[in-house]
């Protein structure tokens, strides 16, 4: 463990709390902005309701962009899950581990500078160098959840948090999970005093998935989130850090209500491009769902399969029942890596999403089933789909509105606050966000 950099404190530069408010998008800004703790931070700092996410708008891809300052095509986390054809979603591995990220991260830079780092349920941080690390990992296929956390996080820290606050949790159920994470963050601020704390709160995202983007459950999640933000601010006050701390809160993506799910892989089965049977499980082309849209994967060098798959999907795009808005190629969407199997992006219209499953019917009518569901994973430019951002601290301009931002801007801003150098960043620092020094 590296020694603490006392210079950071002595110069009056306090900690940075980077709080991911999962699924906090512009359609809920007005409702959240009038609540006490959000309103306080808006008065004291800068905000933006036009934060553009990345392709794809999936949690792990976006959170990795937040801490690297580069797009998914460069940092390598291009989905929540690596491609696993025919494996049910509940059994799939995720991009849980730091070594999947191809570029340096904000927490690496902080660690190299001798700063104290902490992470609580931050995606893609398994086995990361974060000093106090409770990573977001999940047991699958018979794994033990406790052992998986201990093996991939900071064991003594994780055990301490479980001993102190484990009684609050109800597995992955909400609102208990976010209440647990917030208590861990409060305790970490007061007792560990990290220079950088990464905190991922998930309840709003979970509520939208289950209930749609509007309704009493969403209102309650937003109210609870404001209370949790207040707990973080109170912890900084208690630790004597409120005047020097910087708090950054942002959403990673929006969500849209989905009324119909399309099984695009059915079309590829009928074209002879994949076979899901146990005896002969193979694929030449495969649609990997991002919930709202999909990647079309093609086996390397199989030009015939690529041509056939494009013909089949292009024909489907002509039929309104399949809800395909557009098919993008490698030159149009930067996440389509030339060396990978993901060759095309299939964007759905609002109200439609993609199911990776294979079966009947081709189009699942959720309304007819009486199911309420919302999702993300669309391209970042859907109308009303932008994210929200706010930030307050001693170096941030007060009551300042930023017209637009990119998700790649988050790492440059955070690095500036902490006095860190990061190379190769694609983002920029929005003009006017920092106060003039002097």
162-220 pLDDT tens trace:
999 999 999 899 999 999 999 999 999 999 999 999 999 999 999 999 999 999 999 99
* Mean pLDDT, residues 286-303 taken together: 96
Q: Are 115 and 108 in contact (CB under 8 A)?
A: no
Q: What are the tokens at 418?
A: 């902490």
Name the DSSP class of 34. Answer: T
pLDDT > 70 in the chain, percent: 96
**Residue 82's pLDDT is what?**
96
Q: 306 pLDDT exceeds 50?
A: yes
* Domain layout of the chain by residue ranges: 6-254+385-418, 257-375
Domain 6-254+385-418 CATH superfamily:
Alkaline Phosphatase, subunit A (3.40.720.10)
Number of helical H runs and strand E runs in the chain: 15, 19
pLDDT tens for each residue of 221-273 = 999 999 999 999 999 999 999 999 999 999 999 999 999 999 999 999 999 99
Specify whether the backbone of 12 is left (phi greater than 0), alpha (psi in -120 to 50) or beta. Answer: left
Q: 274 pLDDT exceeds 60?
A: yes
**Residue 268's pLDDT is what?**
98
**Residue 5's pLDDT is what?**
45
CA distances from 54 to 104, 291, 377, 380, 415 (A): 18, 15, 10, 6, 20
pLDDT tens for each residue of 25-77 = 999 999 999 999 999 999 999 999 999 999 999 999 999 999 999 999 999 99
Whole-model pTM: value is 0.96
Q: Which residue has the tokens 């064991």?
A: 155
């Amino acid at each position: 463990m590296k020694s603490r950099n006392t210079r950071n404190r002595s110069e009056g530069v306090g900690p940075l709390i980077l709080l991911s408010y999962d699924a906090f998008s512009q359609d809920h800004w007005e409702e959240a902005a009038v609540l006490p703790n959000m309103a306080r931070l808006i008065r004291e700092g800068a905000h933006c309701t036009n934060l553009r996410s990345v392709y794809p708008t999936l949690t792990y891809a976006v959170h990795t962009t937040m801490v690297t300052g580069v797009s998914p095509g460069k940092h390598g986390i291009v989905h929540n899950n690596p491609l696993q054809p025919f494996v049910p979603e509940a059994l799939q591995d995720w991009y849980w581990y730091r070594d999947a990220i191809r570029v340096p991260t904000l927490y690496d830079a902080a660690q190299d500078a001798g700063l104290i780092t902490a992470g609580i349920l931050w995606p893609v941080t398994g086995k990361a160098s974060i000093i106090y690390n409770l990573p977001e990992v999940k047991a699958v296929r018979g794994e033990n959840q406790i052992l998986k956390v201990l093996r991939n996080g900071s064991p003594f820290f994780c055990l301490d948090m479980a001993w102190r606050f484990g009684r609050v949790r109800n597995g992955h159920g909400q609102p208990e999970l976010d209440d647990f994470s917030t208590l861990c963050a409060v305790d970490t601020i007061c007792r560990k005093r990290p220079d950088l704390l990464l905190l991922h709160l998930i309840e709003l995202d979970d509520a939208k998935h289950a209930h749609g983007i509007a309704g009493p459950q969403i209102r309650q999640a937003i109210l609870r989130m404001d209370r949790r933000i207040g707990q973080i601010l109170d912890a900084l006050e208690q630790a004597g850090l409120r005047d020097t701390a910087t708090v950054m809160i942002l959403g990673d993506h929006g969500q849209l209500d989905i009324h119909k799910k399309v099984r695009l892989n059915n079309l590829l089965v009928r074209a002879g491009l994949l076979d899901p049977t146990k005896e002969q499980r193979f694929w030449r082309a495969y649609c990997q769902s991002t919930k709202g849209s999909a990647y079309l994967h093609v086996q390397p060098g199989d030009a015939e399969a690529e041509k056939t798959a494009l013909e089949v999907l292009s024909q489907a795009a002509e039929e309104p029942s399949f809800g395909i808005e557009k098919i993008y190629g490698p030159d149009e969407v930067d996440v389509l890596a030339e060396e990978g199997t993901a060759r095309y992006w299939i964007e759905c219209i609002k109200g439609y999403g993609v199911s990776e499953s294979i079966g009947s019917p081709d189009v699942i009518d959720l309304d007819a089933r009486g199911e309420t569901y919302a999702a993300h994973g669309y391209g970042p430019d859907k109308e009303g789909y932008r994210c929200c951002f706010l930030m307050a601290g001693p170096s941030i301009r007060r009551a300042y509105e930023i017209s637009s931002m990119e998700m790649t801007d988050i790492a440059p801003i955070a690095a500036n606050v902490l006095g860190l150098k990061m190379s190769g960043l694609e983002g920029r620092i929005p003009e006017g966000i920092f106060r003039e020094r002097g």
